[in-house]
Structure 1
């Protein structure tokens, strides 16, 4: 049998390796698969509930279980990839995700489906920090901005295609088969990703740390991984639970305490000469600290928009799920375009691109509020939301990828995966907390007013949160000028 051979990256400078663009293709296929899977499943929830006779709680966990395990394993998987080889852990993550997609597509009941979704979340948690770390590893300077721009374009396209593809698969496959196809479609993409990774990723896929005083299990910092994982679990769980009790909310302060203990442990671990899970000195770097806060605040608000708008047009206006998905398509496509545009120019304009993107997002939100209220009181067409949300999409593409490039620019390569994963963990926490809080505000006022007023209040809350992110972006711009 002929053994697979792969190009060897330059020992001194992986960013000069000509295979780096092929590596990026592999990374983007996996990112496309995992994100499209999320947006496809959103459309399929009603069909899943009918086909499996699932409860509302079961359906909630189809989404929440994935988000929970994804957030919990991110940083540990990122650090493991930093130490032992990002390529090997990337392939492991894609393999887990693909096998879990088969299990989900063949699920006989809701419990089986949710177990498969938990494993899918673990797979994505392994893939994402390796993708960010490998972009850091193989691209530098303006090329890194372009690579993250392609990353953002992939995000936009996958989000746009997901609802349409999901609706088409359910239409073609019918009530029983259609929703299963939304999971099984991941299988050919997963297999393609694994084959291309084995062909193109440099050897070795797994390596040993070169300059650690302590190696083996201690270099993975198992206590730090446990403390951080439990902290993320405790913080996220009350927000993803369908109907959390008062006692369950005690997990939130317990999670904050675990974060504090984790930080203390990391400092102690470092002083003892071990390799910490995360080098906390990176938070002294203003670009990383400010960028991580911007990203967390942005996701705290932004993701709620794509919950509120479908809720409004379906429950408030009686649109179908397919029509609701159409409302966001111009926004997603313009997000993909602006991510690519901004990625090519982020090294020249720097934080000004993020500030401009946040300004577009705020303008789009305020215009969307105007459309909703004018539809309610003057009867203008609600389809003007396509235009107002398009401005929001332009902003979204100009914020996420450029901010990622700027935030990670000064992070040491040895901590690229875990540092990127810390930032992504902030995104996951921001997403879960934001959706829970903002939808709670909308449903709290809904009995006393119309859908239009309730959703407008939710969108204005999102606007205030993004204004905080804008203030932090201006702070970072000022800090960079001081330096």
Structure 2
């Protein structure tokens, strides 16, 4: 780490985290805050159920489609540059959404917000990889996990509070407009606080581990290599004439089309069963994309995604676990809001408050886990998934007991709090372990891949869980609907846990082989 302490963050590192985490919190909050303002939004602009679903999923779709390409662009052109652009795009979309007169304008604005989030998010992960090492990286990802957990839990509370204070009309609009001044401040601080090395591509000499760490304090390397300011961003690291701006447009197009084809059937189910034929077509396009990336690399190009990343087992297993986990977890807050508001008649603020303990416990769990993740490794992630599963099952049992014996539904404060603890122990430790062996020059791309899986999983999961919820609601009422939704979520979390257990077993076998070799 050069002149930066291994255990104490420097002032420069704290500034980097502040600049990154506030806009990332804002972009993730824009997913969860919508859950509680949906009914007022729908009445205000006369939106249909299909249009309202696009408010939820259209944002996540755009978010997911842009992540990998944005991560690649950050690696090539500078993560700070893409981060600030993304924050600006997000602010513009938020302004339009807050003033939208009809469902079409609102949905277009949400897509613009999703594009902005897709641009900024992988840069944050990439800069954590670039400027934090060892235990400090675990702590930084712990703070990132805190942001994720708090944004999920606090969004409904904030949305409900804004509606209670400002009324049905301007309450939901302010949930978007509040992003604009925050984004403007983040842009200004980004220009002032991000180090010079954040504004050039990671193929320069200053992006080695040593240089990246030292650049936090003095923007120069400690071994006599060129400073970031003097390095040329237009040449490949081996000094040949190939420009770094090899953006692989065909690879970008193939991945975007494949992602859209896989996700659209879950977003537009009303078009009929035939639309699910797009899923296998999308899968074929993704396979073609993989083959293209490999061929592009063999021909000497710089592919959008280096498929060698997936040969790193910790990355492959961790990204898979994260993707599956996010298929289930975000749906919890959607169906809880629907059940409390539409089924039990709770006002928006009360419906939002039920997730507050979960947010606080998730934040505390992520902070604690970030400090010890390198000590306990994948065991902590598996334990976190198990605790999250316990919270989901307990929540379903509380609903059943409420409907059967009349116990207070507010007992869900406790069960969702258990869920929050599990979430804090799962997300940030998994992020740290998944990216631990990834070279820093792939930090933005690998972060984009991981977050793409999360966003695609979120979009598909919300579509599936809400479809199950509404199907059971029409047949047997809201209590049966939320129990069915919790059941689907529990099965998905179990699948994520199985991936974690497999990776844990792989790690133990690897350690045992290394111990045997050391003894021989």
1:111 equivalent to 2:104? Answer yes
Cα RMSD (Å)? 2.3
**Structure 2 counterparts to residues 256-267 of structure 1, below 5 A:** 256-267=283-294
Which residue number in structure 2 is paired with residue 4 of structure 1? none
Q: How far apart are residue 165 of structure 1 and its match? A: 2.3
**Mapped partners of 1:397, 1:29: distance in 2:** 18
Q: How far apart are residue 252 of structure 1 and its match? A: 1.2
Tell me if structure 2 keeps the 8 A contact 1:17–1:138: no
Residue of 8, 16, 27 corresponding to 1:23: 16
**Mapped partners of 1:305, 1:365: distance in 2:** 8
**Structure 2 counterparts to residues 285-434 of structure 1, below 5 A:** 285-434=312-461
* CA deviation vs aligned residue, 1:145-168 (integer Å, no higher than 9, x gap): 100111111222233332222223
1:470 match: secondary structure:
helix
Q: How far apart are residue 479 of structure 1 and its match? A: 1.3
2:246 match: secondary structure:
helix
**Mapped partners of 1:25, 1:183: distance in 2:** 21
Residue of 306, 314, 337 corresponding to 1:279: 306
**Mapped partners of 2:241, 2:109: distance in 1:** 36
Q: How far apart are residue 306 of structure 1 and its match? A: 1.5
1:98 equivalent to 2:91? Answer yes
Normalising by the residue count of structure 2, what TM-score does the alignment of the two structures yield? 0.86
Q: How far apart are residue 216 of structure 1 and its match? A: 4.3
Which residue number in structure 2 is paired with residue 83 of structure 1? 76
**Mapped partners of 2:67, 2:430: distance in 1:** 19
Cα 1:382/1:427, change in 2 over 3 Å: same
**Mapped partners of 1:467, 1:175: distance in 2:** 39
* Mean CA deviation greater in 369-378 or 89-98: 369-378
Q: How far apart are residue 18 of structure 1 and its match? A: 5.4
1:243 match: secondary structure:
helix
* Mean CA deviation greater in 175-184 or 88-97: 175-184
Normalising by the residue count of structure 1, what TM-score does the alignment of the two structures yield? 0.92
1:19 match: secondary structure:
helix
Q: How far apart are residue 244 of structure 1 and its match? A: 3.5
**Structure 2 counterparts to residues 209-220 of structure 1, below 5 A:** 210-211=236-237, 215-216=242-243, 219-220=246-247
Which residue number in structure 2 is paired with residue 57 of structure 1? 50
* CA deviation vs aligned residue, 1:89-122 (integer Å, no higher than 9, x gap): 0000001111222222222333222222111111
Cα 1:462/1:40, change in 2 over 3 Å: closer
**Mapped partners of 1:41, 1:303: distance in 2:** 12
Tell me if structure 2 keeps the 8 A contact 1:102–1:187: yes
Q: How far apart are residue 445 of structure 1 and its match? A: 3.5
**Mapped partners of 1:349, 1:447: distance in 2:** 46
Q: How far apart are residue 322 of structure 1 and its match? A: 2.0
Name structure 2 gaps, 5 residues minimum: 202-232, 511-520
Cα 1:222/1:477, change in 2 over 3 Å: same
Which residue number in structure 2 is paired with residue 206 of structure 1? 200
Q: How far apart are residue 300 of structure 1 and its match? A: 1.5
* Mean CA deviation greater in 453-462 or 209-218: 209-218
**Mapped partners of 1:216, 1:472: distance in 2:** 39
Tell me if structure 1 keeps the 8 A contact 2:160–2:350: no
**Mapped partners of 2:440, 2:244: distance in 1:** 21
* Mean CA deviation greater in 401-410 or 160-169: 160-169
Q: How far apart are residue 476 of structure 1 and its match? A: 1.0
**Mapped partners of 2:487, 2:51: distance in 1:** 31
Cα 1:464/1:433, change in 2 over 3 Å: same
**Mapped partners of 1:43, 1:365: distance in 2:** 19
* CA deviation vs aligned residue, 1:319-356 (integer Å, no higher than 9, x gap): 22222211111111111110111011101111111111
**Mapped partners of 2:286, 2:10: distance in 1:** 39
Which residue number in structure 2 is paired with residue 145 of structure 1? 138
Tell me if structure 1 keeps the 8 A contact 2:149–2:423: no
* Mean CA deviation greater in 37-46 or 320-329: 37-46
2:47 match: secondary structure:
coil
* CA deviation vs aligned residue, 1:410-466 (integer Å, no higher than 9, x gap): 111111111111111111222222222233333334444343333223212222221
* CA deviation vs aligned residue, 1:307-329 (integer Å, no higher than 9, x gap): 22222222332222222211111
Which residue number in structure 2 is paired with residue 6 of structure 1? none
**Mapped partners of 1:214, 1:454: distance in 2:** 61
Tell me if structure 1 keeps the 8 A contact 2:246–2:301: yes
Residue of 23, 47, 60 corresponding to 2:40: 47
* CA deviation vs aligned residue, 1:333-389 (integer Å, no higher than 9, x gap): 111110111011101111111111011112112211221111122221111111111
Q: How far apart are residue 255 of structure 1 and its match? A: 0.9
1:183 equivalent to 2:176? Answer yes
**Mapped partners of 1:23, 1:472: distance in 2:** 33
Name structure 1 gaps, 5 residues minimum: 1-8
Q: In the comparison of the two structures, how many residue pairs are matched?
A: 473
Tell me if structure 2 keeps the 8 A contact 1:214–1:275: no
* CA deviation vs aligned residue, 1:119-142 (integer Å, no higher than 9, x gap): 111100001110111111111111
Which residue number in structure 1 is paired with residue 163 of structure 2? 170
